[in-house]
Chains A and B, each alone.
Chain A
Amino acid sequence: MDKEDLLNRIFEENIPDADAIKALGGDHELLEEYQFRKSLQVALIRKRRVAQKKLLHQISLKERVKRKRLIWLGLAASLSLLLVTVWILRPQSSTAEVLYAQYYQTFPNRIAPSLRDQNKQLTEVQKAFVLYDNGEYSDAIVAFKKLYESDREAFLLFYLGVSHMETGQFKLALQSFKELKSDDLNPDLRGFEIWYTGLCHLRLNEPAVAKEYLELLSSNVTHPMSELSRKLISELP
């Protein structure tokens, strides 16, 4: 058998290293050739292992990213579900509430317009309306109440009622409007207490009662709120 065939046979038959070296019979040149080829075999195995390790590392990274993404997707899905649930279970705004929000407007200060002259001493009424104009309704309520106790002016009760509405105290507002006598109001305020009474009942989800008040206004064709009252009546639930 020639040397090349011998070397090929060693590799083809997977002869163990020690036996292979023995089979070479002390031929130094052949041993060097065998060692080169064996080194080639080792190099190829190593190269393949390195490539496979690299591939497995990439697979592992990919899998980790996928798992993380799944966790995030799960969290996002849970969050979405939670938001949908919260949205479904949210306190529903009734039609009456929506109508109220559409029709309600703060009544302007027609009694004591704010003065530009800072040096002039303000009366108590003016001070109360400054609070009202500034949107400080809680303080305005205190001021209007105090003034009404001493002055007994109907407009004070009217603005007290509107201030209660601004702070969401509709029942107190109704008390104020009920207490005042329309005829005692300044002409340009007259009838508006009916409008606001209607709106209070609307906000308290009493559309039928609201309608009764609004009809009082709608039938008074000369009142500025007559047209708006008719419109609101047509939209009542």
Chain B
Amino acid sequence: MFEEKLLLEKLRNNEPAAIEYVYVQYKKAFFGFIGKMELNKQDIEDIYQDAIIALIENLQRRKLDVLMSSVKTYLFSIGKYMAIKRWHKKLPGSSETIPDLVFEEGQVEDVYDSMATVIENNFDRLGHNCREILSMFYYESLTLDEILQKSSYANKDVLKSKKSRCLKKLKELCKIVIHG
């Protein structure tokens, strides 16, 4: 059994044991809670997994430093919202869309879809240091100062120029030319 604070830290660090713990710990109650809606088991399983992913993502992307409620309550409220959204979609003649409040980037994704796909396919071709810097800055939403504290770069300028070189390398790998 994890202490709640320690559990959040482990989820933020993407530790599989903590993710498995959350999945197993709350699954039965979650299915009972969401099962009251007219959704099939597979839908509920998808929603449950997505709710866990949203929890982890919000922790990792610094959208959620402290939980005002328990992990369980937070998961269930995300899950309930996702379930309503999915249930609404299934209603005959439903045209009204419910905004995605869970994944912040949900609506933005479509605009950058094609370029993101190319980047997704080439990102792992970068070296380890580049992947680490770019992930910390663009995924984990760490500032350059925070990254500097976590890394061995001499100063912020060195870090900034390293990040710029990494972006340039990624563009080359993706054959993306920025016209200037």
Contact = CB atoms under 8 A, between A and B. Distances in A.
Contact of A39 (B20, B61, B112, B160): B112
B112 A44 contact: no
Interface string A183-213: 0000000000000000000000000000000
A15 to B, nearest CB: 12
B143 interface: yes
B29 to A, nearest CB: 15
Contacts of A49: 53, 57
Contacts of B119: 39-40, 43
Interface string B165-180: 0010011000010111
Contacts of B45: 60
Interface residues of B, number: 46
Question: In terms of DSSP, what is the predominant structure of the interface of chain B?
Answer: helix
17 contacts: A35-B115, A38-B112, A39-B119, A40-B123, A41-B105, A42-B105, A42-B108, A42-B109, A42-B112, A43-B117, A44-B138, A52-B52, A52-B57, A53-B49, A56-B49, A56-B52, A63-B24
Interface of B: 14, 16, 19-20, 23-24, 27, 45, 49-50, 52-53, 56-57, 60-61, 103, 105, 108-109, 111-113, 115-117, 119-120, 123, 134-135, 137-139, 141, 143-144, 160, 164, 167, 170-171, 176, 178-180
Ranked nearest first, the 4 interchain pairs of A and B with the lowest CB-CB distance are: A39-B115, A43-B119, A39-B112, A29-B180
